[in-house]
């Protein structure tokens, strides 16, 4: 097995995600990651195992005895939530996932309250966290920072795993896991994800959840991806190239209504204007045709679903919220279960939980 201790940072950084993958594998995880950094680390078998584990944890947690059993599984572990970018759901669902498994947590939610403010390097900060914790769950506006930190940690005296909870405009692998888990559950007993059509709409250029989910969907057979966005915010070239390379069928469409009619899932996203180069840049883009409202809802197939990583602004009208096809609230809760599954598997407890008597 390839090891991060056997490769220099520059050499590792230059590899493709596929080539990086073996370096990030969990020695006792049978194909699951040790450091979770990007979506390309998960193949179909890994996704199916994580969804099964999430279902199992969800089920066990229903009874008090089961919940107490789970609380004991990782009671000897501590996790650091290091979020130097705003977050509600990703932070809270990771926190709740840790609580389900009995993991004690610490957090930094604002770099201004950590010693980085005094000029400490990211490397030193991370090394500090690893002195006190057994896992780092991190979100950062910097692309590639989680990767660098993973390499640093694996090459330190106290290697601990990193979970990327959002890295710049680049990747959000655990969001993509919860999106897949939501699709799996929505199409359970209806033939699954294979053969489905998924439409992505909104800011596809800067939305990291789109990139990560687009990659994960390529693990399924004959899934067609449709991209609907203002021209300025259309899906970036690297995503298109990855799909073309894998022979995945995709299409760029102008009309959300037309796309809605043929979709099994419509994945809406927010305009990510925090990345504007010039203030007010995004506000000049006409986004009025990229919103899901009553008219789109009327065109949505009876068994199709509406998804959103949240937070939403006005890209899904609130009149859709109580429709049974609106999956965004459940999607949010699914995040807690799949993250609990990923954390348990990262620490090597997949089998213990799958085979326990509850």
Question: Which of the residues are catalytic?
Answer: 89-90, 118, 139, 172
CB 50 within 8 A of CB 338: yes
Identity of the residue, 33 or 168, whose beta carbon is nearer to ligand NCD in the bound complex: 168
Q: Where are the alpha helices (DSSP H) in the chain?
A: 9-13, 17-20, 44-60, 64-73, 89-100, 122-132, 145-154, 173-186, 208-217, 237-246, 256-261, 294-299, 328-346, 350-354
CB 263 within 8 A of CB 195: no
Identity of the residue, 152 or 170, whose beta carbon is nearer to ligand NCD in the bound complex: 170
Q: HSE (CB half, 13 Å, CA atoms) of 307?
A: 31
Instruction: Identify any residues that bridge with 200 across adjacent strands, giving them in sequence order.
Output: 227, 267
Identity of the residue, 54 or 60, whose beta carbon is nearer to ligand NCD in the bound complex: 54
Identity of the residue, 73 or 108, whose beta carbon is nearer to ligand NCD in the bound complex: 108
Cβ neighbours around 63 below 10 Å, total: 11
Nearest approach in angstroms of CB 127 to ligand NCD is 26
CA gap 345, 339 in Å, rounded: 10
Exposed/middle/buried for residue 305 (C-beta within 10 Å: 0-12, 13-18, 19+)? buried
Nearest approach in angstroms of CB 223 to ligand NCD is 21
Nearest approach in angstroms of CB 281 to ligand NCD is 17
Phi, psi of 36 (to 5 degrees): -100, 110
Identity of the residue, 175 or 225, whose beta carbon is nearer to ligand NCD in the bound complex: 175
What is the DSSP secondary-structure string of 325-358?
TB-HHHHHHHHHHHHHHHHHHHTT-HHHHHTS--
Nearest approach in angstroms of CB 86 to ligand NCD is 8
Which of 295, 341, 290 has the alpha carbon at shortest distance from 73? 341
Task: List residues binding ligand NCD (CB under 6 A).
Answer: 89-90, 166, 172, 175, 208-209, 270, 272, 309-311
CA gap 37, 229 in Å, rounded: 27
Identity of the residue, 154 or 209, whose beta carbon is nearer to ligand NCD in the bound complex: 209
Nearest approach in angstroms of CB 348 to ligand NCD is 26
Nearest approach in angstroms of CB 247 to ligand NCD is 28
CA gap 191, 108 in Å, rounded: 43
Nearest approach in angstroms of CB 175 to ligand NCD is 5
Listing from the earlier edge strand, what are the strands of the sheet with 305-307? 250-253, 224-228, 197-201, 265-268, 305-307
Report how far apart, in Å, the C-alpha atoms of 182 and of each of 46, 53, 99, 194, 327 are: 16, 14, 22, 14, 8
CA gap 56, 61 in Å, rounded: 8
């Amino acid at each position: 097995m390839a090891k991060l201790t056997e490769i220099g940072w520059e050499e590792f950084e230059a590899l493709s995600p596929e080539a990086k993958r073996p370096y990030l594998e969990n020695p006792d995880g049978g194909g699951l990651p040790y450091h979770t950094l990007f979506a390309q680390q998960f193949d179909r078998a890994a996704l199916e195992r994580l969804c099964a584990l999430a279902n199992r944890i969800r089920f066990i947690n229903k009874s008090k005895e089961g919940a107490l059993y789970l609380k004991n599984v990782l009671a000897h572990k501590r996790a650091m939530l290091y979020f130097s970018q705003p977050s509600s759901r990703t932070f809270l669902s990771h926190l709740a996932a840790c609580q389900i498994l009995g993991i004690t947590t610490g957090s930094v939610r604002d770099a201004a309250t950590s010693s980085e403010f005094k000029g400490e390097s990211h490397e030193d900060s991370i090394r500090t966290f690893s002195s006190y914790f057994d896992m780092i769950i991190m979100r950062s506006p910097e692309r590639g920072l989680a990767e660098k930190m993973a390499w640093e940690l694996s090459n330190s005296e106290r290697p601990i795993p990193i979970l990327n909870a959002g890295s710049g405009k680049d990747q959000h692998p655990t969001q993509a896991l919860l999106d897949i888990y939501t699709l799996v559950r929505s199409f359970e007993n209806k033939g699954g994800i294979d053969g489905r059509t998924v439409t992505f709409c909104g800011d596809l250029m800067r939305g990291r959840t789109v990139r990560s989910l687009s990659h994960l969907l390529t693990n399924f057979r004959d899934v067609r991806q449709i991209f609907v966005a203002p021209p300025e915010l259309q899906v970036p070239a690297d995503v298109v190239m990855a799909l073309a390379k894998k022979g995945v069928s995709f299409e760029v469409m102008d009309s959300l209504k037309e796309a809605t009619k043929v979709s099994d899932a419509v994945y809406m996203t927010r305009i990510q204007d925090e990345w504007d180069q010039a203030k007010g840049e995004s506000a000049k883009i006409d986004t009025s045709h990229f919103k899901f409202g009553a008219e789109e809802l009327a065109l949505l197939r009876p068994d199709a679903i509406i998804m959103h990583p949240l937070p939403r602004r006005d890209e899904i009208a609130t009149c859709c919220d109580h429709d049974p096809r609106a999956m965004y609230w459940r999607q949010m809760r699914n995040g807690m279960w799949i993250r609990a599954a990923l954390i348990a598997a990262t620490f090597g407890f997949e089998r213990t939980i799958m085979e326990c008597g509850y």
